[in-house]
């Protein structure tokens, strides 16, 4: 059964080819006409007046917690949160229980994701059980469509294992090895960024060097092997500098940054609120500046949420006992528009590139992020850039509530999301 024909009317299209005012006609899930003043007779009309119409957002870094921690999130609830946030595709991280390290587990996640209100693709573990020792069957997983390999949550500590994973990935078209760059030995026992605030608060810290030593090593391995490396949740000025220099000499590296590392600093931990605990940790204002500069100059390719739901039972504990991670899918776009685009740190087009077409390219999602043109699958997001709203943790679609942005006033919100032509979000409401 095909969704009915519809017309997205009155918006301004912004995609990788530029901006233009036009309506979009969608039939059988595909864009069939893009022109101003389309006749909408007989079609369902989605009002895009005052809005920008863009390719659906793509999140490279989503923790859906299924299988293993369905109390915190499920594929269904996470995909609904994603659709509400404007995403039409998310890459599900493999640090589930069991880990996504073999074809059976990955296959079951893909099967459950197939009916979700957002495309769900799986990243798979680099090593069996994410233990950092023996490579997962990367070829078999690639056959299932996996392109992103990562032990995220854990850093692959063994340089020999990382080298072999990179060498192996070269034989797999489109594959990329993604690293949670935190040296476990340096970060051990730390709960926030190591610096002035950690000493003042008496909370043991995780030094910036825990990130940069791993990035520096992995860049050398990418050089040695010629493989693609993706740096997950880049958080430090030094990390930005290393990635920038590597790109200049042609290393095949991409990097992502989270909204929270772009808008929060370690000073937030002074509240001792576990909502601000995350790995890698929130860092200093000079790190935030470097991350913003790296995003603006293209050193950082993508904004990824690292959406990390934790049920209140596990997260609402003293800072040093709480697990790291925060929600991201439903607040990412609003934060980027409010804190980066509106003040002029980033153009709207650059923000959308980092939220949609560049992450789509990194994950090899050919159907997502492409220009809004005839013949394209209608994965679209309609954004009202002037909609003012306040983040309410209790109103989120996620099963969890661990957002550090509760009560924050944002400007810019998703009005509609279309997944292959199906309006899965209409006027800010999830349709299923
Ligand atoms: Zn991570």
Q: Measure 345 CA to ligand 1 centroid, in angstroms.
A: 26
Q: Please give the model's pTM, rounded to 2 decimal places.
A: 0.98
Burial class, 187, CB count within 10 angstroms (exposed 0-12 / middle 13-18 / buried 19+): buried
Q: Measure 62 CA to ligand 1 centroid, in angstroms.
A: 10
- CA separation for the pair 193, 207 (Å, rounded): 6
Q: Measure 323 CA to ligand 1 centroid, in angstroms.
A: 12
pLDDT, mean of each 10-residue run, the chain (432 residues): 82 98 97 97 97 98 98 98 98 98 97 97 98 98 98 98 98 98 98 98 98 98 98 98 98 98 98 98 98 98 98 96 98 98 97 98 98 98 98 98 98 98 98 96
- CA separation for the pair 105, 117 (Å, rounded): 21
Helix and strand numbers (H, E) in the chain are 14, 21
Q: Measure 65 CA to ligand 1 centroid, in angstroms.
A: 14
Q: Measure 155 CA to ligand 1 centroid, in angstroms.
A: 8
Q: CATH 3.20.20.140 spans which residues of the chain?
A: 56-362
At the topology level, CATH places domain 56-362 in TIM Barrel (3.20.20)
> Any idea which residues carry the catalytic annotation?
306
> What's the token pair of residue 327?
């929600």
Q: Measure 184 CA to ligand 1 centroid, in angstroms.
A: 12
- CA separation for the pair 287, 301 (Å, rounded): 17
Q: Measure 60 CA to ligand 1 centroid, in angstroms.
A: 11
Per the listing, tokens 């949740």 go with 233
Q: What is the DSSP letter of 26?
A: E
Q: Measure 21 CA to ligand 1 centroid, in angstroms.
A: 39
pLDDT of residue 3: 56
Q: CATH 2.30.40.10 spans which residues of the chain?
A: 6-53+374-430
Q: Measure 95 CA to ligand 1 centroid, in angstroms.
A: 9
- Residue 329's closest CA among 100, 90, 149? 90
- CA separation for the pair 372, 215 (Å, rounded): 36
- Residue 57's closest CA among 327, 404, 413? 413
Determine the CATH number of domain 6-53+374-430. Answer: 2.30.40.10
Which helix (H) or strand (E) segment is 387 a member of?
strand 380-390
pLDDT of residue 2: 56
pLDDT of residue 238: 98
Q: What is the DSSP letter of 353?
A: I
- CA separation for the pair 6, 282 (Å, rounded): 43
- CA separation for the pair 386, 389 (Å, rounded): 10
């Amino acid at each position: 059964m095909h969704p009915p024909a519809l017309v997205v009317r009155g918006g301004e299209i912004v995609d990788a080819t530029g901006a233009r005012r036009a309506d979009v006609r969608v039939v059988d899930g595909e864009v069939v006409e893009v022109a101003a003043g389309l006749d909408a007779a007989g079609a369902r009309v989605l009002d895009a007046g005052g809005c920008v119409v863009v390719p659906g957002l793509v999140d490279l870094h989503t923790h859906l917690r299924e299988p293993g921690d369905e109390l915190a999130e499920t594929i269904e609830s996470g995909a609904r949160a994603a659709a509400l946030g404007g995403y039409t595709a998310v890459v599900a991280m493999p640090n589930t229980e069991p880990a996504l390290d073999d074809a059976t587990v990955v296959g079951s996640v893909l099967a459950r994701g197939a009916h979700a209100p957002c495309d769900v693709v799986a990243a798979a573990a680099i090593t069996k059980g994410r233990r950092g020792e023996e490579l997962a069957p990367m070829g078999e997983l690639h056959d299932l469509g996996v392109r992103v390999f990562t032990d995220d949550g854990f850093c692959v500590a063994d340089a020999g294992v990382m080298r072999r994973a990179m060498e192996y990935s070269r034989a797999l078209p489109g594959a990329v090895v993604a690293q949670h760059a935190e040296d476990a030995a340096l970060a051990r026992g730390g709960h926030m960024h190591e610096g002035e605030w950690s000493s003042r608060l008496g909370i043991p810290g995780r030094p910036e060097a825990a990130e940069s030593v791993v990035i520096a090593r992995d860049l050398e391995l990418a050089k040695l092997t010629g493989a693609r490396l993706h740096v997950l949740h880049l958080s430090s000025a030094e990390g930005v500098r290393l990635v920038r220099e590597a790109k200049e000499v042609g290393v095949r590296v991409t990097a992502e940054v989270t909204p929270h590392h772009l808008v929060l600093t370690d000073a937030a931990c002074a509240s001792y609120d576990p909502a601000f605990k995350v790995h890698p940790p929130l860092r200093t204002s000079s790190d935030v500046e470097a991350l913003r500069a790296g995003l603006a100059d293209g050193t950082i390719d993508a904004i990824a949420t690292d959406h990390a739901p934790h049920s209140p039972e596990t997260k609402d504990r003293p800072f040093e006992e709480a697990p790291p991670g925060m929600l991201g899918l439903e607040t990412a776009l609003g934060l980027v528009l409010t804190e980066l685009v509106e003040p002029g740190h980033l153009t709207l087009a650059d923000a959308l590139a980092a939220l949609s077409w560049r992450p789509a390219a990194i994950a090899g999602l050919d159907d997502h992020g492409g220009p809004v043109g005839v013949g394209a699958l209608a994965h679209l997001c309609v954004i009202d850039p002037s909609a003012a709203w306040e983040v309410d943790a209790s109103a989120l679609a996620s099963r969890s509530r661990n957002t550090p942005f509760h009560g924050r006033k944002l400007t810019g919100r998703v009005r509609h999301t279309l997944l292959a032509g199906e309006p899965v979000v209409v006027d800010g409401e999830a349709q299923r």
